[in-house]
Structure 1
Amino acid sequence: MRGFLFFLFSLFFFSGFAQEGMVKAEIDTTNIRIGEQFQLKISVDETQNVIIPKLRLNGLEVIDSTKVDTLKNSLIRRYILTGFDSGAFYIPQQQIFVKNRAYFTDSLLVNVATVAIDTTKVKKFPIKSIKKEPYTFDDFKIYFYILLAALAIIGFWIYWFVIRKRKEEIEAPTYRTLPPYEEAILRLSELDEKLLWQNNKVKEYYSELTEIVRGYIERELNVPALENTTDEVLEMIRDFKKSDTIQTSQDTLDKLRSLLREADLVKFAKSKPLALEIEEDRKDAQEIVSNLKPKPIIEENDELE
């Protein structure tokens, strides 16, 4: 009976000893100064099914930690700790699970001491006055917005009363209206430079050519030649000829009739005159402009003279 009890006691004793030796916590120093760092190492004599929970501390702080290292048949994890308050602090027992069984490390005592300051070697400085806060944009933004508004008003005033007025003066037309004859000759020259009929644009060429001639007649004789038909224009010219109010020849009137009717055929009947005929019509147009003029008005004083 005594032997059996001794066996049970021995079994319990060695089992407890094995449990205590399964996990271990060590620190590299027990005394530090405020802010100094020291290392805590937790070792587990097992590599399978091991859980190391988050470190629980009182008065100390974790600065950094390493991953779990495997060394032979053990797991090791290291922590870098420090303290910012003076005093004695315990690292409490840490609960570690090995194969779903809880094991506890020993608690460890760490003394955190203040740093002694030798006041005899510290340089003394005079008491400084209260330092004012630096200026920020918010302190001046109201003045900034007022300045922007003032600049906008001044800019608008300058544009409206100076620049715009000067621009209008510059853009004011400075050309003079050409007399009917000079305008017609100029437009005929510009028509020649376009090379319309040479590029198979005969219809456009005759439209512009007769428009020049009609425009000359309208301005020179003060009749709506641009709005009337060919027959109406020819009728007005015959009336002027009968009333002896224009200065021209019958040959010029015949050329005018021929030019206008040829243009109507090209525009409405899709007639295609030859190049020689087109050049002849161009000469006739200039001759019409040169020879079709109103008779000058002779005043009574001029007749008496």
Structure 2
Amino acid sequence: MRGLFFFLFSLFCFSAFAQKPMVKAEIDTTNIRIGEQFNLKISVDEIQNVIIPKLQLKGLEIIDSTATDTLKNSLIRKYILTGFDSGAFYIPQQQIFVKNQAYLTDSLLVNVATVAVDTTKVKKFPIKSIKSEPYTFDDFKIYIYIVLAALAIIAFWIYWFVIRKRKEEEEEPTYRALPPYEEAIYRLNELDEKQLWQNNQTKEYYSELTEIVRGYIERELNVPALEKTTDEVLDMLKDFKDADVILTSQETIDKLKSLLREADLVKFAKSKPLAPEIEEDRKDAEDIISNLKPKPIVEEKDKEDGLE
């Protein structure tokens, strides 16, 4: 009975051991030089429900890897590894899952050696001097900005103190004031060219006509004739004539009185003189300007000299 029990137990253990999948990690070399490559192969003797996680390494690097391959009821994955630091590095145990059961591979040791250099066979070169970097815009931009600012200031100075001043001097009026008589005759001719009364602008015509006459009196006799009323202008001329300080006739003063009265009627009473009357007033205005003048001081002195 004991023998039968021992036989069944051994058979069960053997069966359980036989069903355990085998996972294995292999490398084709354990010694490399820096930068050399070697191969790692992980194999599992099972193809159903097998998971090979991402390879975990320390000090070594993966160059390439192949897809999982099936060969004789086994799964195989290959990796190409290398190392760039000298020393001994372990490929740690890798955890493989088979039918949701974790299995571990063996850890593997890889020695990475440096490459010996024979300095006696290496050609020596002299130490090179420091090479200067090429110039860029940033190296000169501060100087460019300073130059541009200086040019802008100079241009502004030239414009403000030279060109602008010269332009103002050129724009200054270069005309000379005409004598009172010449100015009045000139303005009368301008008034004729406007043809105001011919275009039913009689009020504007008389306003400008009397303004010309008053302006002449103001300039010629040095009195504010433009600011005075008609009666004030006539009284002032009467006083001048009585004082014998102007050269004119009573007829000229009467023409002035008639012209100013007519202008007042046109401007304020809306009177509308006929064309012959307007032409006559224009002629009277020119006669007034021609015959109304101040008495020369030189003549007064000559008279005094004659009396002596």
Query: Which range, TM-score by smaller chain?
Result: 0.5 to 0.7
Structure 2 residue 149 is the aligned partner of structure 1 residue 173: no
Larger radius of gyration: 2
1:248·1:292 contact (CA, 8 Å) conserved in 2? yes
Q: Distance in 2 between matches of 1:219 and 1:92?
A: 121
1:66 corresponds to which residue? none
- 1:171 CA displacement: 2.8
- Corresponding letter in the other structure for 2:140: F
2:225 corresponds to which residue? 225
Structure 2 residue 244 is the aligned partner of structure 1 residue 244: yes
Structure 2 residue 267 is the aligned partner of structure 1 residue 267: yes
Using the aligned pairs only, state the percent identity. 70
SS of equivalent residue, structure 1 residue 270: coil
SS of equivalent residue, structure 1 residue 223: coil
- 1:147 CA displacement: 1.1
2:133 corresponds to which residue? 132
Residue from 66, 80, 98 that aligns with 1:90: 66
Q: String of CA shifts for 1:171-227, please: whole Å, max 9, x gaps.
A: 333222111000000011111111111221111111111000000001111111100
- 1:110 CA displacement: 11
1:37 corresponds to which residue? none
Alignment of 1:7-46 (within 5 A): none
TM-score normalised according to structure 1 size: 0.57
RMSD (Å), alpha carbons: 3.3
1:90·1:107 contact (CA, 8 Å) conserved in 2? no
2:248·2:293 contact (CA, 8 Å) conserved in 1? yes
Compared CA separation, residues 248 and 130, structure 1 to 2 (3 A): same
Q: String of CA shifts for 1:236-272, please: whole Å, max 9, x gaps.
A: 1111121222111222111111110111111111111
1:191 corresponds to which residue? 191
Q: Distance in 1 between matches of 2:277 and 2:175?
A: 36
The count of corresponding residues between Structure 1 and Structure 2 is 199
2:62·2:79 contact (CA, 8 Å) conserved in 1? no
Q: Distance in 1 between matches of 2:76 and 2:227?
A: 117
- 1:134 CA displacement: 5.0
Q: Distance in 2 between matches of 1:277 and 1:295?
A: 31
Q: Distance in 2 between matches of 1:272 and 1:92?
A: 123
2:290 corresponds to which residue? 290
- Corresponding letter in the other structure for 1:150: A
- Corresponding letter in the other structure for 2:305: L
2:215 corresponds to which residue? 215
1:245·1:294 contact (CA, 8 Å) conserved in 2? yes
Compared CA separation, residues 88 and 166, structure 1 to 2 (3 A): closer
1:91·1:110 contact (CA, 8 Å) conserved in 2? no
2:281 corresponds to which residue? 281
Give structure 2 stretches of 5+ with no counterpart: 1-53, 55-60, 70-74, 81-127
Q: String of CA shifts for 1:47-105, please: whole Å, max 9, x gaps.
A: xxxxxxxxxxx9xxxxxxxxxxxxxxxxxxxxxxxxxx995433469xxxxxxxxxxxx
- Corresponding letter in the other structure for 1:180: P
Give structure 1 stretches of 5+ with no counterpart: 1-57, 59-84, 94-105, 112-126
- Corresponding letter in the other structure for 2:210: T
Compared CA separation, residues 184 and 92, structure 1 to 2 (3 A): farther
1:203·1:267 contact (CA, 8 Å) conserved in 2? yes
- 1:296 CA displacement: 1.5
TM-score normalised according to structure 2 size: 0.56
Q: Distance in 2 between matches of 1:129 and 1:158?
A: 48
